[in-house]
Amino acid sequence: MGATSHDEFRDFVAARRPTLLRAALLLTADRTEAEDLLQAALAKTYLAWDRIKDRTALDGYVRRAMVNINISWWRRRRLEEYPTDEMPDTPVADHTDRSELRDVLERLLDRLPARQRAYIRLRYYDDLTEAEIAHALGVSVGTVKSTVSRAMAKLREDADEEFAALD
């Protein structure tokens, strides 16, 4: 791999890492495993970098690599786990609190007007900057900032009400 290819790969990783890490997190549901998965997929991408002609398809290439690697890891783990009659000494982690919080957040997002919901998802789920959102939607950065600000205020207000109802 030449110096320019190496620089292109480094720039790609720097720009797309947060988004790709979120995709890996959706596949694994564990931050550490997601980081390992992304690293393995990027290593495969690095090895194939000069063979990838369509640079617009890089995200898809890395995502496909993550899916394939995750399936391989899952199969390997599945073969290494054996049932037992004895209970483990350490308690098993309870992840229901995270899923309940996610459900609450989804309900809160669903209450927002479509435009505000879209801006919040672009800003916090897709990790786009305000300038990137403005460019993508053809609006000013000020419009993005004010819309996100109003949406966050509404989410905070609704969240306070939601959690007060739970108590």
Task: Please state the domain extents for the chain.
Answer: 3-80, 96-166
d(CA 65, CA 38): 9
Q: Which residue has the tokens 């399936």?
A: 71
| DSSP character at residue 93 | P
Q: Show the tokens assigned to 148.
A: 């996100």
Q: Show the tokens assigned to 130.
A: 């305000």
- Quick: pLDDT tens for 147-156: 999 999 999 9
Mean pLDDT of 121-134: 89
Asked if pLDDT for residue 2 goes beyond 80, the answer is no
- Quick: pLDDT tens for 110-124: 999 999 999 998 898
Pick one of 1.10.1740.10, 1.10.20.60, 3.90.1150.10, 3.40.50.720 as the CATH number of 3-80: 1.10.1740.10
Between the alpha carbon of residue 113 and those of residues 15, 47, 93, 116, 151, the distances in Å are 30, 44, 36, 5, 9
Pick one of 1.10.10.10, 3.40.50.1100, 3.40.1160.10, 3.40.50.150 as the CATH number of 96-166: 1.10.10.10
Instruction: Please report the pLDDT score of residue 61 as a whole number.
Output: 93
Asked if 47 and 1 touch (Cβ cutoff 8 Å), the reply is no
* DSSP per-residue string spanning 115-158: HHHHHHIIIIIS---HHHHHHHHT--HHHHHHHHHHHHHHHHHH
